[in-house]
A = this chain, B = another copy of it.
Amino acid sequence: MSIFDTLESDVRSYCRSFPTVFTKANGAVIEDEQGNRYIDFLAGAGSLNYGHNHPAIKAKLIEYLQQDGLVHSLDMHSDAKRRFLEVFDRHILWPRESEYKVQFTGPTGTNAVEAAFKLARNATGRTNIVAFTNGFHGVTLGSVAATGNDHFRNAAGVPLHNVTFMPYDGYLGEEADTLGYLRKFIEDSSSGLDLPAAVIVETVQGEGGVNVASWDWLRGLEEICNEFEIILIVDDIQIGCGRASTFFSFEEAGISPDVITLSKSLGAYGLPMSLLLMKPHLDQWKPGEHNGTFRGHNLAFIAAAEAIELFWKDTDFTRQIKRKGRLIKERLDAIAARFPEVGLAVRGRGMVWGIACKSCPELAGEVSRAAFERNLIIETSGTDSHVLKLLPPLVIETELLEQGLDVVEQSFEAVLSDRAFLEEHDLLEANR
C-alpha cells in the first residue's frame, strides 16, 4: 500500500482514473516516475491552457524567485500586481472596450463565484440567483447551491438555498424555447420564482458535459437580464482564457456581462489565482468585506502577466485555437460516423470538445481507460460521466494533437470491438 492509500482521504478522485505517480511535465506532455510519457488532454481541468511549464513563464518565475521578489502580499500593492494590472488592462480590457473593476479574490474559482454572488445580492437587495441545469460553479456552500450535480449537492450536508435552476440552452430538446420559459417565470409575479439578483451562466458547460450555448441564446439571456435589471454573471473559469478561442468565451456573442469570474488558466502556470471583473457601478464593496489570505499571490501575477503578453497581444492565438478546434471536431465527427449505431454526439467550441453516448454512459469511461493504457490522459464529464471530454492545452503542437486524436479513435475502436463490453451493454447490434 502506498502512502497515498494509507494517509490520503478517500475523497481523492483523478488518481483513481490515472493510477501512476507523475513527476515532470512540459507543454502537452506529462511524465510518470517510470519514465512513461503521456499526452495530456486534461490540462489540469482547464488550468493549463498554455501547457505545462511554459519556458518563457518559467524563466520569469525563476528570475523573480532568485531576486527575492515578494511572494505573498495579501492585498497590499506590489510591483508584480501592478504589472499584471497594466498588462491585463492593455491587452485584455482596453482592446475590448471593456470597462471593469478588478477584484482579486482568494485564488480559487469558487471563491470568485462566492464573491460574485455577494456582490449581486448586495447591489440588488435580492437573494435569489438563477443558475442553469448541469452548471458547475464550485463546492463551497454558496457556489455548490448553484451547481446542478447532486453528487456535489448531497455532500453539503444541509439543504441548499437561494438558487433557482432553469433549463440551459438545448436542455429540453432542440425546439424548446428555454429562454421563453425563463422569461415567463420572471414576468409572472405568481410563478414562485423570486426575482433574482443575478443569473450565472457558463457559455460552455465543461463539467456538465460540454453543453454549448448558442450566441443567440446568450444574447437573449443578456436581453432578459437587462430588461429586468438582473445582474448577468458569466462564469468563465473553465471556458475563459482562450479555451473557446477568444480570451473571454462570450466575445463572439457580443454580450457584455455585468460580472465575470476568471481562474484556472489565468494563473498561467497552474498557479492558483482568481479574479472577479465587475462593471464599475457594481463595485459597492466596503474595504475588506471579502478577503482571503492568498489573494495576493505574486508568483501567479508574474506568470499571468507574462502569459497575457505572450499570447494575447494580437489575434494569432485565437486563430490557432480555431484551427486546432476544427481539426478536433473533424476527427470526432469521423469517429461518430464510424460507429453510427452507437449514437455518438459530438459538441464543443474552440478547444473544448465532448463526444457523448447517451445510450451507453459507461462507454466514455471505458474509452478513457483504454486511452490511458495508450498513454493519453483524457477525462469524462456530464451527469453520468457519459461524455468523453477533450481539453488539450491550447498550445499543443498539431502533431501531438493528432497523435492524441489517433489514440482516442483507437480507444473507441478497442472498446467497441470488445465482445464482453458490447454484450454487457447491449451494443452488439450497434457495432455490427
A residues touching B (Cβ–Cβ < 8 Å)?
Answer: 2-4, 7-16, 18-26, 30, 33, 42, 44-48, 52-53, 58, 61-62, 65-79, 81-82, 85-86, 89, 101-104, 106-111, 114, 117-118, 120-122, 127-128, 131-135, 138-143, 145-153, 155-165, 167, 171-172, 180-181, 184-185, 188-195, 197, 208-209, 263-264, 269-272, 276, 278, 283-294, 297, 299, 382-384
Question: Would you list 26 pairs from A and B whose C-beta atoms are within 8 A, ordered by A residue?
Answer: A2-B77, A3-B89, A4-B82, A7-B101, A8-B102, A11-B285, A11-B286, A13-B287, A24-B70, A53-B68, A53-B71, A58-B68, A106-B140, A110-B111, A114-B140, A121-B158, A133-B188, A133-B191, A134-B190, A140-B141, A148-B191, A149-B190, A155-B285, A171-B184, A264-B293, A272-B294
Contact indicator A79/B21 (Cβ below 8 Å): yes
Partner of A383 from B53, B188, B285 at Cβ < 8 Å: B188
- C-alpha gap A62/B71 in the complex (Å): 13
**Chain B: minimal CB distance from A338 (Å):** 29
Check if B118 sits within 8 Å of A47, measured CB to CB.
Answer: no
Are B75 and A12 closer than 8 Å at their CB atoms? yes
Contact A4 B269 (CB under 8 A): no
Q: Are B289 and A9 in contact (CB under 8 A)?
A: no
Besides A11-B290, A158-B162, 14 more A-B contacts (Cβ < 8 Å) are: A23-B79, A53-B65, A62-B65, A71-B271, A106-B111, A107-B272, A108-B111, A114-B139, A122-B157, A133-B191, A148-B191, A150-B195, A155-B290, A165-B191
| Given A70-B24, A383-B190, also A272-B289 (CB < 8 A) | no
Contact pick for A287, options B3, B12, B23, B152, CB 8 Å: B12
**Of B127, B147, B383, which one neighbours A158 at CB under 8 angstroms?**
B127
Closest 10 CB pairs of A and B: A72-B270, A121-B157, A165-B192, A141-B142, A13-B288, A11-B285, A9-B103, A148-B192, A141-B141, A155-B289
CB distance from A392 to the nearest CB of B (A): 15
Closest to A12 in B: B75
Residue of B with least CB distance to A153: B194
Interface class of chain A by DSSP: loop
Question: How distant is A396 from chain B, measured CB to nearest CB, in Å?
Answer: 16
**Cα A121 to Cα B15 with chains together (Å):** 26
A72 CB to nearest chain B CB (Å):
3
Min CB distance, A54 to chain B, in Å?
Answer: 10
Chain B residues contacting A48 (CB-CB under 8 Å) are 72
A209 proximity list for chain B (CB < 8 A): 190
In the bound complex, how far is the Cα of B74 from the Cα of A364, in angstroms?
A: 20
B293 touches A44 (CB 8 A): yes
Task: Choose from B33, B140, B180 the contact partner of A79 (Cβ within 8 Å).
Answer: B33
CB–CB A151/B297 < 8 A: no
Instruction: Give the residue of B46, B66, B75, B272 whose beta carbon is less than 8 angstroms from that of A272.
Output: B272
Task: Closest B residue to A193 by CB, please name it.
Answer: B165
Residue of A109, A286, A287 with highest tally of chain B CB at under 10 A: A287
Task: Contact check, B45 vs A9: say whether CB atoms are below 8 A apart.
Answer: no
B127 in contact with A70 (CB, 8 Å): no
Query: With A102-B7, A107-B272 in contact, is A72–B47 under 8 Å at CB?
Result: yes
